[in-house]
Amino acid sequence: SINSSDGNLYWQYPVGIDPGTSLTAAPLVSEGLLYVASTSGFVYCLDADPGDGDDEGKPDPPGSDYDVIWTYKQQDLKPFEGSPVMVDRLLVLPVDETDLLALNATNGNVTWTAQVPQASNITMDLIAVNGSVVVGGNGVHILDVGSGAEIWTYDATTSPMVGGPAAVDEMLFVTDHRGILFAFGMVENQPPVARISSPLPDSQYR
């Protein structure tokens, strides 16, 4: 952690000390806690501002400048390569290529695990919308955050969804590998109809 005012190092924690371990997922900060997922199958929850001197959560080595709240170890050490999202105090993470994991953000306990519908590879960043989790692969999948159950799926087998989705004004926007933009209305419990456009002037989707 670096002081944003002067660039000085505030504290550091040795995440990813195992050979071949890297951090490809963006960290997430929520309610004063920092969540970090590694490619070696670990999730770490740390106090984002441990300067109060209180050792919360797990016991830390004497003299350490960090404060670990909890850690989670994936049983088969599948990598966490995508960035997590937080919704309703659940930390939802993509695991390997086709799985999702939801952890209690307070204690790191597993709330649910799920496979993306149709075993679709996760190719799009996760996003939380209206208490649900949006997952992109060979289509757009909306999952219930409480259970991981599928609410609805929009099939798009021609080209995988990629990049970071966006939600604004009751609309969800995603793009596929061809550069085509899909816009969905915020409907619940039923498959939506997508409005499709393309940056190509002669495209049939324009």
Position 15 scores a pLDDT of 76
Position 91 scores a pLDDT of 97
Position 101 scores a pLDDT of 96
Position 194 scores a pLDDT of 56
- Residue 59 tokens, joined: 């016991």
Residue 69 zone, left/alpha/beta (φ > 0; ψ -120 to 50; rest): alpha
Q: How far is CA 151 from the centre of its chain?
A: 18
**Which residues, including other chains, have CB under 8 Å from residue 186's CB and lie 6 or more apart?**
129, 130, 167, 170, 171, 172
Position 192 scores a pLDDT of 54
Residue 202: enclosing H or E segment and its boundaries? none
From CA 180, how far away is CA 206, in angstroms rounded?
Answer: 9
Taking CA atoms, 106 is separated from 8, 47, 80, 159, 185, in Å, by 29, 11, 19, 38, 32
Binned average pLDDT, 10 residues per bin, the chain of 206 residues: 76 72 87 92 91 74 85 88 93 91 96 83 88 87 91 80 84 86 68 53 43
Position 189 scores a pLDDT of 42
Position 160 scores a pLDDT of 85
Position 53 scores a pLDDT of 64
From CA 60, how far away is CA 128, in angstroms rounded?
Answer: 33
